[in-house]
Every structure is written in C-alpha cells, then in structure tokens.
Amino acid sequence: MKIVLKLKKIAATVLAIALFTLCLTPPVMAANAKDLSQLLKDNWCVSFLWKQCDLSGVDLRGANLQEANLSGANLSGANLSGANLKNADLSDADLSGANLADSDIFGTDLSKANLTAANLNRTRLWDANLTLANLTLVNLQDANVLYSRLWGSNLTKANLTNATIHGADLQYANLGNSNLTGADLQSFFSRGSKQVTNLSNANLEGADLTGANLKGAVLAGAVMPDGSINEEMASNFNSSSFD
C-alpha cells in the first residue's frame, strides 16, 4: 500500500511539473488550415476588418505565389525562402520574423508591410514597392535591390552588408545605425540609366558605411553618419571620411 501511495505521489509530481512547463512554453505560431488551403487553391488570402488571413509560421519554401493576393495577411514567422513572389500583393502584410531568403520579389507590393527582423538574405528585390514599410532589424545582406521604392521606409539597424542597391528610391528613409559595410549604392545614372539611387533627406546617422560605394547617389539633405547635413545634390562619397 505504501509503495502504491508513493507511486501516486511521484506521478502527481511529474504531471504537475509537466503542466507547469507547458504553461511557461510560448505558443507556437500555426497557420489557419482553411486560410492555407484557400491560398494554395485560389492564390489569395486577404485580411478584412472582420477576418484575418492567418498564415503565421506557415512553411511555403519554394512556393509559387506569383501574383498572389496576400494583402494584410499575417505571415509572421513564415518560411518563404526561395519563394516566387513576383507581382504579388503583400501590402500591409505582417512578415515580421519571416524567412524570405533567396526569394524573387519582382514588382511585388510590400507597401506599409511589417518586415521587422525578417530575413531577406540574397533576395532579388527588383522594382518592388516598399513605401513606408517597416524594415527595422531586417537582414538584407547580399540582397540585390534594383529600382525598388523604399520611400519613407524604416531601415533602422538593418543589415545591408554587401547589398547591391541601384536606382532605388530611399527618399526620407530611416537608415539610422544600419550596417552598409561594402554596400554598392552607386548611381546607374552615369551608365545611361533613367534612375539614380536617391537618398535625399534620408537618415544615415550612426550608419556604418565602411567600404560603401555611393558615387553619384543623390544625398541632398541627407543626415550623414556623423550627424552633418549633406547639402550637395550628388556625392562622390568617400566612406573613409567617416571611418
């Protein structure tokens, strides 16, 4: 009898510990099965005032989402690495913490999207719209950004190491304390392009521009790494000036 009581006490203790641990464990993000099914079937899943498209934590590696409508969708923590997002609508979408490494983002609408701490390593951001997007702490290392619109976007503490950013519109963008080491922002203007890399009125205070190439980029009114205001229209910027 004593042995049975001891076993019951041990079992009760183990159960209590398990329940306590479960309560401390943060909930795992899981997509709504119906929302995922709808996306895969109809190539759209949008959020409305009365219904949210929940694709949080979904695994869509290598998925073909060309021209998909995901406006306002919750894709936080989703895995979209290697996905085809050409001409997709991701405006106002929540992509915080999402993995978009090696994805194709051609003509994609990401205006006002939340990309906080998202991984865009080696992505191809061509002619994408990221107007007023939140890119705080985003990883854009080795990304290829061509002719994309980042007007007023928040790139605070972003990692842009070795990124290629040509013909992009970064007017009024906040790049404070971002890492632009080895980034190539040289204007295409001298090569016959219709667009230049526009950083006018952008905030670069505290940014690391070691080895960055900003030759020919428009920096009128930009706040430079040392806090000074650039008054020239274009700059043959020498990063060693702020090393």
Least confidently predicted of 181-190, 194-203, 216-225, 234-243: 234-243
Asked if 108 contacts 85 with a C-beta cutoff of 8 angstroms, the reply is: yes
Residues 6+ apart with CB under 8 A from 19: none
Provide the total of helices (H) and of strands (E) in the chain, helices listed first: 2, 6
Q: Give the pLDDT confidence score for residue 77 in this predicted structure.
A: 98
Residues 6+ apart with CB under 8 A from 155: 135, 136, 138, 173, 174, 175, 178
Q: What are phi and psi of 214, to 5 degrees?
A: -115, 20
| pTM (2 d.p.) | 0.82
Question: What are the angstrom distances between the C-alpha of 6 and each of 17, 18, 45?
Answer: 17, 18, 55
The H or E element containing residue 217 is strand 217-218
Q: pLDDT tens across 56-109, in order?
A: 999 999 999 999 999 999 999 999 999 999 999 999 999 999 999 999 999 999
Q: C-alpha angle 49/53/56, rounded to 5°?
A: 130
| SS3 of the chain: helix, strand, coil, percent, to 5 | 15, 20, 65
Asked if 76 contacts 58 with a C-beta cutoff of 8 angstroms, the reply is: no
Tokens 């020919």: give the residue: 216
Least confidently predicted of 28-42, 53-67, 160-174: 28-42
What is the distance in angstroms between the CA of the first residue and the CA of the last residue of the chain?
A: 78
Q: pLDDT tens across 111-145, in order?
A: 999 999 999 999 999 999 999 999 999 999 999 99
What's the CA gap between 222 and 224, in Å, rounded? Answer: 6
What string of DSSP letters covers 58-107? Answer: -B-TT-B-TT-B-TT-B-TT-B-TT-B-TT-B-TT-B-TT-B-TT-EEES
86: alpha, beta or left? (left if phi > 0; alpha if psi -120 to 50): beta
Question: What are the angstrom distances between the C-alpha of 10 and each of 6, 75, 123, 214?
Answer: 6, 43, 53, 68
Half-sphere CA count of 228, side-chain side, radius 13 A = 7
